[in-house]
Amino acid sequence: MLALAVAIALWLSAGLILAINRLPLVPGILELIGIGYTGHSHLLQHIVIPLQHLVSFGLNLVSRAFEFQVCKHVT
């Protein structure tokens, strides 16, 4: 019984995918979404995250310099 339900679900989902693929604009839109997602992932991985690390490093240096000056004036 379960095998029959799985076979019917597979057949219905394949039919749905074929129906969507036959619509003129949907495959192009889905391709653009995929390209946009890939570009966003690349942008995030290679530009945004390194910039975050650079800003974090700079703020850490400023913080340590400030701590050094405060300790220098206290003693």
pLDDT attached to residue 46: 77
Helix axes of 2-22 and 26-43: crossing angle, nearest 10 degrees: 90
pLDDT per residue over 39-64, tens digit each? 777 777 777 778 888 888 888 888 88
Give the whole-angstrom CA distance, residue 64 versus residue 72: 12
Give the whole-angstrom CA distance, residue 15 versus residue 28: 19
Torsion angle, alpha carbons of 16, 22, 28, 31, to 10: 40
Predicted TM-score of the model (pTM): 0.41
Position 74 confidence tier, pLDDT thresholds 50, 70, 90: low
C-beta separation of 20 from 26 below 8 A: yes
